[in-house]
Each structure stands twice: as C-alpha cells, then as structure tokens.
Amino acid sequence: MTDPVNPSGDDLADSLRTIAESKPLVQSLTNTVTINDVANLVLHWGALPVMADSPGDAGEMAQGASGLLINIGQVPDGRVEAMHEAGRTANEREIPVVLDPVGVGSTPTRESVAETLLEDLEFSIIKGNYGEISALAGVEAEVEGVESVGEYDEIEHTATAVAESTDAVVVASGVEDIVADADGSYRVSAGDEMLAAVVGTGCMLGASLAAFDAALSDDLTAALYGTLAFGIAGERAAEMAHDGPASYRRNFHDAVAGLAGEDADTFDLEDRIERIT
C-alpha cells in the first residue's frame, strides 16, 4: 500500500478487501445505548463482531480476538474490570486496542476511568471528539454529557500532544476530522452533517477504526483509511432518499455495507487527506 497521506481508490479498495478477506474478530466493550449499531458496523465492514464485556469472559474472548475496542460510554465496576482484563490480554498478545474515551471531561468518574486505562494499557488508536481529546490533553475543554461544545482552534496540536504522550495514533472527530501521531497531524475531509443527528455515530467510528486496525498492519494507515471510509459512507447515506435522522441511520448502515462490497478503486480521493503539521 502506498503513502496513506496520498491515497488512491486502489488503496482504499485494498484496505476494504483486506478486512473482508481476513474477517478479523473484533471484540467490543461498549455501552448499551449503541451496542447493536457497533456490532452491525463491524459486520458491515466485513469483520466479525463479538461483544464480550463481563469479567472472565472478556479476557477469555480477547485470547482469540484480532482487535479490541474499549468504549467508556458506561462505566459500571464490572465492565471497567472487564476493560482492563481484556486490554491486558490484548497487549500480551500484541493485537491492536482502540480506546474511545466517551464523555471524558464531563465527570470526575469518567476522567478517572480513562486515566487508569491509559496507565494500565497500551493503545494503538485513541478516538474521541474535540472536547474529549482536549480533556485527555489536560487543556480547556467543554464536554456536556458525551457531546463536545465550544471552540477548538488548536485541535491539531492538541491531538499531536496526546499522540506523543500515549504513543498512540489519535483521531479527533468533529466538523473536520484530525488524525495525528507523534510526527504530525492530518485533516481528513469526508462526512456529512447528518452524522451528528444520529446518536452513536461516534461509537460507530470507534468500531470502524477497530475493524480497520485489526486487519491492516499499520495503525496510522488504519486510522486514516478508517476515518476516510466512514466519512465517505456518511456522504453516500445522505445521497440516498431519507426523511430525517431515522432513515439516514438506516441509509448509513446500508452505505457502509455497500462501500465494503463495491469497487472503491474508482473513487476520486484527491485532497481527501492533507498533512497539516
């Protein structure tokens, strides 16, 4: 695969075919609000979903998984224990682990959960909205519930700082998606405003990144192409007939399945990924 900063349709098609052909088992510890959407998105990309999230079972399932998603949308004690258990197993097996620090910055409990996970585990990708990534960096952030509000003019530098401190690739999702590693940051131009009208699209992006990272050999490539493919699916869903958020949500699932099953080598990806720092 060529330089992920200058992707072609062939490159995106190759990544999608790699997922479909390898069918990685992606284990997700996520919240009950979005668990069905998360499982379906993993399946639509061509991977295999499993939602083992209880102590004992979580660590055992991670023994056979190809990738792991840890989403802190809900943090009862048992699930947090299972997060650490599955994460340690994944680290021992050297399979990628994606962290989605949902709502971090909104309550001390979520901040504590995220802090202990970052202390205990190694993550390949960390994905959050602008406010969540800013909260992880220790800079001013406005997070209401699980939503990012406020202005984040330096988000590319903030994302790079989190990447440097965690040794992970960081995806900051917002009006423009920012992907950063310790060497710099990139802007991914893809998506549609209707994605913000559906609860759970952030969780679904985290699941998509886990699927791409489980199949591809490079974390930065997985983050860039996973974010790009997710955004393109969002655009294609908006082009289908819909009456509002409910039908757009249905369209989005269909668009992901269609994108994964089509010849993406015909897509014009010029200027979709831009190096910015």
pLDDT by residue for the chain (277 residues), tens digit each?
A: 445 667 777 888 899 999 999 999 999 999 999 999 999 999 999 999 999 999 999 999 999 999 999 999 999 889 999 999 999 999 999 999 999 999 898 889 999 999 999 999 999 999 999 989 998 988 765 544 444 445 567 889 999 999 999 999 999 998 889 999 999 999 999 999 999 999 999 999 999 999 999 999 899 999 999 999 999 999 999 999 999 999 999 999 999 999 876 767 777 788 899 899 8
- Smallest CA-to-CA distance from 42 within 29, 54, 28 is with 28
CB of 218 closer than 8 Å to CB of 267: no
Q: Alpha carbon of 14 to those of 18, 26, 61, 230, 264: distances in Å?
A: 6, 19, 28, 15, 8
- Smallest CA-to-CA distance from 51 within 41, 125, 61 is with 61
Is 59 annotated as belonging to a binding site?
A: no
Which domains are present in the chain?
9-275 (3.40.1190.20)
What is the Rg, in whole angstroms, of the alpha carbon atoms belonging to the chain?
Answer: 17
**Residue-level length of the chain:** 277
Which residues, listed in sequence order, are joined to residue 186 by a DSSP beta bridge? 179, 275
- DSSP 3-state percent helix, strand, coil across the chain (nearest 5): 50, 15, 30
Is 127 annotated as belonging to a binding site?
A: yes
**What local confidence, expressed as pLDDT, does residue 4 receive?**
67
The pTM for the full model equals: 0.93
Torsion angle defined by CA atoms of residues 203, 207, 213 and 214, in that order, rounded to the nearest 10 degrees: 150
**What local confidence, expressed as pLDDT, does residue 146 receive?**
41
**What local confidence, expressed as pLDDT, does residue 1 receive?**
46
CA 166 and chain centroid, separation:
16
Is 61 annotated as belonging to a binding site?
A: no
- Smallest CA-to-CA distance from 277 within 187, 162, 153, 144 is with 187
**What local confidence, expressed as pLDDT, does residue 145 receive?**
43
Is 51 annotated as belonging to a binding site?
A: yes
Give the number of other CB atoms < 10 A from CB of residue 115. 13
**What local confidence, expressed as pLDDT, does residue 20 receive?**
94
Torsion angle defined by CA atoms of residues 208, 212, 214 and 215, in that order, rounded to the nearest 10 degrees: 140
